Amino acid sequence: MLEEILAGLVVSLLGSGAAVLWLHRRRLRLLLPVLRSADRMRVSAAVLLRVQDDGGYVLFHSPRRPGSYGPPGGVAKYSAGARRELERLGFHEEPRSHPDMRHDLRGFVPARALAGFARWWSRGEGRESAAECLRRELDEELAEVGHAHHGVDLTGVDFTPVRTVLDGPHRVPGQPYRQLRLIEVCDLDPASPGATGLLRLLLELAGDPADEGIIRASVFDIEYGRRDRCYIQPQSAYLFGERRLNADLPMMR
């Protein structure tokens, strides 16, 4: 009788453990670098906007990767109040020459701090929210493609979450470190002030063959990595899935 009770407890514990592992299977990947290496890890945390219609997904030209296009959005920024926590995690911001990239959540942490960095990001404290990041990035990126005076008030535009992607950690070709990307994908909230005007603007610009700053790309284009003469940046695949399909394109130095 006692043996049957003990056997039942063991089976129950094993079942519970397996259930916990399954629920947290995505974050378990973050523990592997700690077991494999004590080296530093490259991390970046970004927010992307999904804008689509029957013609495909809206993509913006990237001045830092000329000839290539990717989703609106970009790397989020941390606040001054988060510096102590990021320092505790051993985060070192990646050096950038452009002043707009200061305080970007793109840099390096020790391998042992990888899970802690992911937890800090998921709390949403001490950094831009998805909405704050996207409003700033949209304003900057519209200006970069020649529409600085776009006439849309982005202040009240809001967004709804679609998915959170954990990309990596994986090796970076030619580099002595692994890399982890944390990415939030969002849709426009059509009920928010200014959202309808912004959507109309983006679709009109993407449908204008004379405007090379914004294009539409189909799922096939994104999977293939090109649309005519345009390269499609690999993070575009996160607009419809959780896996990138092509290699990164190097930035201009």
The full DSSP string for 76-92 is -BB-GGGHHHHHHTT-E
Residue 245, in any domain of the structure: no
Q: pLDDT tens across 30-57, in order? A: 555 544 555 789 999 999 999 999 889 9
Q: pLDDT tens across 117-156, in order? A: 999 999 999 999 999 999 999 999 999 999 999 999 999 9
Residue 170, in any domain of the structure: yes
* Same domain for 51 and 24: no
Tokens coding 54: 């029957």
Please report the pLDDT score of residue 40 as a whole number: 86
Residue 62, in any domain of the structure: yes
* Same domain for 98 and 31: no
Residue 85, in any domain of the structure: yes
* Same domain for 233 and 113: yes
Tokens coding 189: 């909230």
Lowest mean pLDDT, pick from 25-29, 92-96, 210-214: 25-29
How far is Cα 166 from Cα 57, in angstroms, rounded to an integer?
A: 21
* Same domain for 167 and 203: yes
* Same domain for 137 and 215: yes
Residue 247, in any domain of the structure: no
Please report the pLDDT score of residue 62 as a whole number: 94
Amino acid at 175: Q
Q: Is the pLDDT of residue 161 over 90?
A: yes
* Same domain for 8 and 99: no
Peptide bond into 110 cis (omega under 30): no
* Same domain for 18 and 76: no
Pick from 226, 186, 190, 195: which is nearest to 71 by CA? 186
Residue 104, in any domain of the structure: yes
Split into its structural domains, the chain has a count of 2
* Same domain for 205 and 112: yes
* Same domain for 114 and 3: no
Residue 251, in any domain of the structure: no
Q: pLDDT tens across 74-87, in order? A: 999 999 999 999 99
* Same domain for 153 and 58: yes
* Same domain for 44 and 32: no
* Same domain for 207 and 177: yes
Query: Looking at residue 127, what DSSP letter applies?
Result: B
Q: Is the pLDDT of residue 64 over 70?
A: yes
Please report the pLDDT score of residue 16 as a whole number: 43
Please report the pLDDT score of residue 253 as a whole number: 67
Strand partners of residue 164: 184
- Look-up: residue for tokens 């290699």? 247
194: containing domain: 39-239
Residue 253, in any domain of the structure: no
Better pLDDT: 224 or 101: 224
